Structure 1
Amino acid sequence: MTAAPRPRPHRGTAALGALVVAGLCATLLATPSSAAEPGTFDAPRIHDIQGGTRISPYAGRQVTDVPGIVTGVRPYGSRGFWIQDPAADGSAATSEGIFVFTSSTPRVAVGDEVLVSGQVGEYYYGGQDVGGQSVTQISRPTVTVLSSGNELPAPVVLDADALPRRYAPEGDPADGGIEGRELRPDRYALDLYESLEGMNVEIDEAPVVGPSTQYYELWVTLDPRRNRTASGGTRYASYDAQNAGRLKIESLVPVAQQPFPVANVGDTLSGTTAGPLDYDEFGGYTLVARELGEVAPGGLEPEVTRAQRNDELAVATYNVENLHPGNAQAKFDRLAEAVVTNLASPDILALEEIQDNSGPTDDGTVAADETLRRFTDAIVAAGGPRYEWRGIDPQDGADGGQPGGNIRNVFLFNPERVSFNDRGAGDATTATEVAGERGGTHLTHSPGRIDPADAAWLDSRKPLVGEFTFRGETVFVVANHFTSKGGDQPLYGRYQPPVRSSEEQRVAQARAVNAFVRDLRDARADAQVVVLGDINDFEFSATTRALTARGALESAVNSLPRDERYTYVFQGNSQVLDQTLVSPGIRRYDYDIVHINAEFADQASDHDPQVLRFRP
């Protein structure tokens, strides 16, 4: 078993279409002379190859006898090694380190003094279309080892003092790209990291802000005071709060030789962690540790919300991450325990990512009764109520998610506390409508779907609407799972600011839900409506503005202290993706995000659930 953080594509000159930036090769035709003076254009040092922008002036060119000291060896994934020139040029913008791609297990060791000849290229993890930055590398190398056991170049210490306040330069007005911009490492964090690409760097006593994953990686921050959460994470608070201190950590040591540490948010990667600074598509700049510190526990514990009072209705939502009968019973049991203990057995529970009875097997199955039976049985076994459920089976393959899984939203409810008003159950293609007025306002279909034929819901989950009665009062609940952020450009990419292409569909979905809520309020001004679920967007986003437009709804997350506003942790950013919104008819409420998953290495789901309590 190796420590490969993820399957990585091989990086070689066979894919020069992805390696070389168009237009550069035409000016780089000369063959270097072995008699040339080191440090000249024909005999470059590493800083000459790296240059003062993100693209090497030597891209596509053969170089000979580039000197350096080996600072790290990667025997897995994209196999190769890093070298660094101890004779720096004095420019903060030009890196003294570079990756040498060997494709097979390297035959060098850390501390070797080497001369490397090969072809310079720019490699884009995942291809250029992903929007990430490139890594300058030498491929198809010929390596000469001059000596061994040499002292390594002193590492650059990364900490809050070294970190610029600004995250990235503005992209070129023509295309939004920053590749041609001269690096300003004293002004922009992304420029600082790029100026250190391939170099030996060090961090000390770094707070963990993203838990360790199955891919043997975790995230730390160099700036723990910026946007700090209550648990010690880093909150993504706006599109201008990218949190430049986030840095991914991997290990160069195979797991069979040294297990990767298990870490939660709030822990500390103590001692010294040092190694070359790399970049990949799964998190951007990465310290690949030749020397890895130890995890000091921070004492994070799963939260438990309070139980609802007799006259309070508790409405919760939970993304259960592709739940299906093929999952181990342990997953059902853990999710059930969370419902009973951590969520205090809410009266209504909106679930996202319930899969059909055959799970990801693409066999035409759409029913999910077996999935729900196992889950509700597990809740009873955990000491909870015997929940009933309501849902609508989707058309096969029409709602997105994991292929074959047919994920959908489902309501669970405790019949001892709340009644479900069944009104001509809708189907996958029939829209529910608002009927009646004032005290007689009701749905034409309950459960029903909001305008499933609208293009906004193409290849996406359709909202599920239910009409409930609690202590004689009608409450309308809308369960949502908006389209994902797939296809958006990364925060750390070469386009700045990044384009959020997926947002357009979510905004259209939000407008459809907003219009439905306004229909309910037009029929009954004091209608009590709860809209909740995995919105897949932030509380400050255009999606949320569309949901709350014209005063139809307000997001309950704004009732929490800022340092508690997060339901998901992505690449070290604690952020809101799941939301609960309420209509003005719900005047007072108590809202809680129950942090039990997102900050933990051991997760039952990757989302934290939420619960809303109010008196109808």
Structure 2
Amino acid sequence: MRPKSFARRFGGRMSTSVLAAALVLGGTSGVIAAGPAAAQGTGLYISEYVEGTGNNKAIELFNPGAEAIDLSGYRVAVYANGQTTANSYTLSGEVAPGETFLFGSSRASFAGQLDASTGAGLWNGDDAVVLFRGDEVVDSLGRVGEQPAGGAWGTGEASTKDSTLRRTGGVPDTIIDDAFDPATAGWKGFGVDVFDDLGEEPGGPTDPEDPEDPEDPTDPEEPGEPGDPADCEAPAEKIGAVQGEGATSPRTGDTVTVQGVVTASFQQPGGYNGYFVQDAGDGSDATSDGIFVYAQGKDERAEGDVVRVTGKVGEHYEMTQITQSGDATVCDTGAEKPAPAELSLPMDDEAREAVEGMSVVLGEGVINESFNYDRYGELTLGSERHAQPTNLHRPGSDEAKALAASNLADSITLDDGINSQNPNPIRHPNGEDYSPENRFRMGDTLREVTGVMHYSFDKWRIQPTAGAEYEETNPRTPAPEVPGSLTVASANVLNYFTTLADEDPNARGANNAAEFERQKAKIVSQLAEIDADVFGLMEIENNSDKAVNDLVDGLNAKIGSEEYAAVETGALGTDAITTALIYKPAKVERVGEFSALTESVDPNFDTSRHRPALAQVFKDKATGEEFSVVVNHLKSKGSACGAGDPEDPNGQGNCNRTRVEGAKALANWINTDENLSRSGRTLVIGDLNSYAKEDPIVALEDAGFENMVAKFGGDDAYSYVFDGQTGYLDHALATAKLTGEIEGVADWHNNSDEPDINDYNLDFGRSPAYFEDNPYRASDHDPVIVGFTPGGNGAPGDGGDDSDDDGEPQPSGPLGSLGSIGSDSLALLGRFGSAN
């Protein structure tokens, strides 16, 4: 499962204004005396305060001075509920002159904008916030030692609860125990969850050191000021000259006047506080003829307006823009927009830079990623589907590096033209509202993608001005049927927790009963349609079989008979999630008790990081033949394992050494355990958190196991989409005997290609209307289905001879592949790389 992470958006913060930033939650409490002395000469002050819904909490610090401010010694102290002791959060880094520093909750919806964050709960409306440098008070908000009536200081929007407050002046408040009311203390309220100005210089875009009022009639030295229609005939600078040929403008810091047609306007509520202007061009293909005009608080401009704009040139998060001063002159309306520049992927940065700010059209693009679609309306497009480099090539190889570079050059983000989060309704790329009747999947195709070229948060983006042509080129399909007398499937159940998060904040699944019923419906529908004889499950709550039995009850109710039973294990391991097995007693019977691989069995299998491997021997009731199933979930790639196992430099993520050691221990356990090795047939299913060519898979292959997904599916196989790239984290690996009896392996792409707006979750105000009671987006990983006949001869035409088998896949359509494989094999089926 992917963590609930947050992409950075246009208008947020990047590291350019803070040279280095880090946060340490000191976990300390300090007792302070009332009214300490103010810090002298620091200049830093709290310019914005956010106390919104949920974890939407932040403060903005501003450096109005001419020198950079070293944050060493600075800390943010929170005095909760009238207390005089505080939790302190230490800051570090440097704030450049005229720049801001954002500190807040790592779980905020705008977390990607923050320069420093913490996972702690931070403040509520009745908690005082104090900025210290050492023991000196730099600034404060609220009154230390007082718990205000009603849970907040102030009233209405000018309140410390459920509101955003912005400083109307730059005078800090260094007296922390005096009466406090935001409305009279130099703060203006903007209501709940208003973040559009977060990170912007206080006071708006006008340079305070160079004030100008272009509409002031008393200024005799500015006869042709903006707003005068006569100006439209005067010469204006070419936008190409302002943009220049490089990544940054040669006119940065200069005040310029340009004139052109408005090609896109994003001044609506929740927009970007500006518009794009394009002129007739300077004749150079190396310079862009369009530019973004930041116009917060100015009159709205419409597409087709011909405007003359004066303002200061700057680089805003690495995109050239003009900050409009005064009013723009409208020279004409309803003008025809310039013909869009035609784009085709791949494109290098120079080609994209040459059309930055211009009207563009992408002839065709395949949807490759939708992870940020529900939160931010973003999709990643490419000319074709992109494979994870380490799914096809060894990590660090020239081929893997070349594929990574190719994927990057072949990618572009299609945004939604909105700067706010969690839009409702959300825009389908065809320009209509997204709905179950008007949906898309990754792998579908867009044509004539029209908008303006924009750059922010390390991504080139097309901000749309019209709906694209949409074609469903990767339609939903039913579960694949694989040949064989028995089927075994692996299925990630997306943190299936019967303990709800509103009951226990540490629970990882559904927040409430409504979400849980939605989640259960999808997972049960998925399992019922696959109809496997044995399922190996990952990401199920480790609560002494309660969750797995609840799932079995739901599955049997869906089917209408008691077809499935659980292998009850009690609590297995120490993590909140575990692995589980369910099966059809009418088709197979258990032979003996389950067993588990833990560090007590092999110290190299670190169950403080891995979930225990769960094994069960079964007997096929039709043939009397035995086989074993082992389900795994190894350490994730996301979180660190420490200095002894750092992030792999070749794209294998964190904890690669830990996973390699786990894979080796797994292979050794299977090959040496008497019960598991007795039949020569073992199917191991689970999450080993590695793509096909990564070290843990190679370690298993070196130990004698064969990659069955590669055998049947070839290079096109995948079960997971991450960062716009496909790969399979759900594996089937085999040694000799069972391989010769396997007749088919297939991934069912009911999950990985679906946008997560279709899952059960209702976080961030998602509309319940997007939900469908069906198996699509039951999880973020696709199930893998293996068909075999114990004692049989494997796939048709195999003949049990693997001596000269070249492993060429035999395609069976878009769901997976069926093909011939060798004999005398032990199979491993596993998902080798999710986010958990």
Answer whether TM exceeds 0.5 for this pair: yes
- Which residue does the alignment assign to 1:324? 497
Q: Does the Cα contact within 8 Å between 1:78 and 1:103 map onto a contact in 2? A: no
Matched, 1:286 2:450: no
- C-alpha separation between the residues in 1 aligned to 2:745 and 2:551? 25
- Structure 1 residue 394: Cα displacement: 6.5
- Which residue does the alignment assign to 1:153? 338
- Which residue does the alignment assign to 1:349? 535
Matched, 1:252 2:417: yes
1:593 to 747, 771, 775: 747
- Which residue does the alignment assign to 2:543? 367
- C-alpha separation between the residues in 1 aligned to 2:607 and 2:245? 52
Structure 1 stretches of 5 or more lacking a match? 36-42, 124-133, 165-187, 356-365, 400-405, 434-448, 488-497
Matched, 1:304 2:490: no
- Structure 1 residue 481: Cα displacement: 4.6
2:440 to 260, 263, 270: 263
Q: Does the Cα contact within 8 Å between 1:235 and 1:566 map onto a contact in 2? A: no
- Which residue does the alignment assign to 1:479? 632
TM score, norm. by length of structure 1: 0.68
- Structure 1 residue 109: Cα displacement: 2.0
Percent of aligned pairs with the same residue? 21
- C-alpha separation between the residues in 2 aligned to 1:67 and 1:394? 69
- Which residue does the alignment assign to 2:524? 336
1:388 to 551, 559, 566: 566
- Structure 1 residue 291: Cα displacement: 0.8
1:247 maps to amino acid: I
Matched, 1:557 2:709: yes
Q: Does the Cα contact within 8 Å between 1:73 and 1:106 map onto a contact in 2? A: no
Q: Specify whether residues 538 and 430 from structure 1 end up closer, same or farther in structure 2 by C-alpha distance, changes over 3 A only.
A: closer
- Structure 1 residue 276: Cα displacement: 0.9
Q: Specify whether residues 410 and 195 from structure 1 end up closer, same or farther in structure 2 by C-alpha distance, changes over 3 A only.
A: farther
Q: Specify whether residues 99 and 349 from structure 1 end up closer, same or farther in structure 2 by C-alpha distance, changes over 3 A only.
A: farther
Q: Does the Cα contact within 8 Å between 2:579 and 2:613 map onto a contact in 1? A: yes
- Structure 1 residue 303: Cα displacement: 3.1
Q: Does the Cα contact within 8 Å between 1:122 and 1:137 map onto a contact in 2? A: yes
- Structure 1 residue 544: Cα displacement: 3.0
Q: Does the Cα contact within 8 Å between 2:636 and 2:654 map onto a contact in 1? A: no
Alpha-carbon displacement from aligned partner over 1:141-171 (angstroms, at most 9, x marks no partner): 5552332333322211123xxx45xxxxxxx
2:526 maps to amino acid: A
Q: Does the Cα contact within 8 Å between 2:451 and 2:466 map onto a contact in 1? A: yes
- Within 5 Å, which residues of 2 pair with 1:572-591? 572-588=724-740, 589=742, 590-591=744-745
Q: Does the Cα contact within 8 Å between 1:45 and 1:85 map onto a contact in 2? A: no
Q: Specify whether residues 16 and 142 from structure 1 end up closer, same or farther in structure 2 by C-alpha distance, changes over 3 A only.
A: farther
- Structure 1 residue 482: Cα displacement: 3.8
Q: Does the Cα contact within 8 Å between 2:745 and 2:784 map onto a contact in 1? A: yes
- Within 5 Å, which residues of 2 pair with 1:137-536? 137-139=321-323, 142-147=326-331, 148-159=333-344, 163-164=345-346, 189-204=348-363, 206-210=365-369, 213-215=373-375, 217=377, 219=379, 221=381, 223-224=383-384, 239=400, 240-241=402-403, 242-243=406-407, 244-252=409-417, 258-260=432-434, 262-270=439-447, 272-281=448-457, 284-298=459-473, 300-306=475-481, 309-310=484-485, 312=486, 314-325=487-498, 326=512, 327-341=515-529, 343=530, 345-355=531-541, 367=543, 369-383=545-559, 385-390=563-568, 393=571, 399=575, 406-420=576-590, 431-432=600-601, 451-453=605-607, 457=609, 461-470=610-619, 471-485=624-638, 503-522=653-672, 527-536=680-689
State the SS of the aligned residue for 2:527: helix
Q: Does the Cα contact within 8 Å between 1:46 and 1:98 map onto a contact in 2? A: yes
- C-alpha separation between the residues in 2 aligned to 1:12 and 1:507? 34
- Within 5 Å, which residues of 2 pair with 1:6-25? 8=9, 10-11=11-12, 16-17=17-18
Alpha-carbon displacement from aligned partner over 1:388-419 (angstroms, at most 9, x marks no partner): 134564677xx5xxxxxx23322223333334
- C-alpha separation between the residues in 1 aligned to 2:443 and 2:378? 12
- C-alpha separation between the residues in 2 aligned to 1:71 and 1:391? 63
1:340 maps to amino acid: A
State the SS of the aligned residue for 2:554: helix
Relative contact order, CA 8 A, sep 6+: which one is greater?
Answer: 1
Q: Specify whether residues 298 and 88 from structure 1 end up closer, same or farther in structure 2 by C-alpha distance, changes over 3 A only.
A: same
Q: Does the Cα contact within 8 Å between 1:513 and 1:547 map onto a contact in 2? A: yes
Equivalent pairs, count: 503
- Structure 1 residue 480: Cα displacement: 1.9
- Structure 1 residue 611: Cα displacement: 1.3
1:509 maps to amino acid: R
Q: Does the Cα contact within 8 Å between 1:206 and 1:220 map onto a contact in 2? A: no
Alpha-carbon displacement from aligned partner over 1:181-224 (angstroms, at most 9, x marks no partner): xxxxxxx5344334333221113454444569424646475634
Q: Specify whether residues 323 and 135 from structure 1 end up closer, same or farther in structure 2 by C-alpha distance, changes over 3 A only.
A: farther
State the SS of the aligned residue for 1:333: helix
- C-alpha separation between the residues in 1 aligned to 2:19 and 2:276? 23
- C-alpha separation between the residues in 2 aligned to 1:299 and 1:54? 37
- Which residue does the alignment assign to 2:782? 608
- Structure 1 residue 517: Cα displacement: 0.6
Q: Specify whether residues 370 and 539 from structure 1 end up closer, same or farther in structure 2 by C-alpha distance, changes over 3 A only.
A: same
2:582 maps to amino acid: L
- C-alpha separation between the residues in 2 aligned to 1:546 and 1:58? 56
Structure 2 stretches of 5 or more lacking a match? 1-5, 21-67, 69-93, 98-208, 213-220, 223-235, 394-399, 499-511, 641-647, 759-776, 791-836
State the SS of the aligned residue for 1:560: helix
- Structure 1 residue 374: Cα displacement: 2.7
- C-alpha separation between the residues in 2 aligned to 1:389 and 1:348? 10
- C-alpha separation between the residues in 1 aligned to 2:390 and 2:599? 40
- Structure 1 residue 319: Cα displacement: 1.6
Alpha-carbon displacement from aligned partner over 1:318-373 (angstroms, at most 9, x marks no partner): 122222234342331222122121x2x22322222223xxxxxxxxxx52644323
Q: Does the Cα contact within 8 Å between 2:552 and 2:565 map onto a contact in 1? A: yes
- C-alpha separation between the residues in 1 aligned to 2:300 and 2:732? 56
State the SS of the aligned residue for 2:328: strand
1:214 maps to amino acid: D
Cα RMSD, aligned residues only: 4.4
Alpha-carbon displacement from aligned partner over 1:207-254 (angstroms, at most 9, x marks no partner): 444569424646475634x7799xxxx998553334444433233388
Q: Does the Cα contact within 8 Å between 1:68 and 1:86 map onto a contact in 2? A: yes
- C-alpha separation between the residues in 2 aligned to 1:319 and 1:521? 26
- C-alpha separation between the residues in 1 aligned to 2:695 and 2:291? 41
Q: Rg larger in 1 or in 2?
A: 2
State the SS of the aligned residue for 1:545: helix
1:72 maps to amino acid: A
- C-alpha separation between the residues in 2 aligned to 1:422 and 1:94? 74
1:79 to 272, 279, 285: 272
2:732 maps to amino acid: T
- Which residue does the alignment assign to 1:118? 312
- Structure 1 residue 379: Cα displacement: 1.0
Q: Does the Cα contact within 8 Å between 2:381 and 2:414 map onto a contact in 1? A: no
- C-alpha separation between the residues in 2 aligned to 1:145 and 1:245? 39
- C-alpha separation between the residues in 1 aligned to 2:260 and 2:482? 63
Q: Does the Cα contact within 8 Å between 2:391 and 2:693 map onto a contact in 1? A: no
Alpha-carbon displacement from aligned partner over 1:562-616 (angstroms, at most 9, x marks no partner): 4641112345433323222223443322211112122234422222110123344
State the SS of the aligned residue for 1:382: helix
Q: Specify whether residues 235 and 552 from structure 1 end up closer, same or farther in structure 2 by C-alpha distance, changes over 3 A only.
A: closer
2:433 maps to amino acid: P
- Structure 1 residue 450: Cα displacement: 7.3
- Which residue does the alignment assign to 1:65? 257
Q: Does the Cα contact within 8 Å between 1:468 and 1:476 map onto a contact in 2? A: yes
- Structure 1 residue 515: Cα displacement: 3.0
- C-alpha separation between the residues in 2 aligned to 1:249 and 1:546? 39
- Which residue does the alignment assign to 1:107? 300
- C-alpha separation between the residues in 1 aligned to 2:297 and 2:730? 44
State the SS of the aligned residue for 2:660: helix
State the SS of the aligned residue for 1:351: strand
State the SS of the aligned residue for 2:539: strand
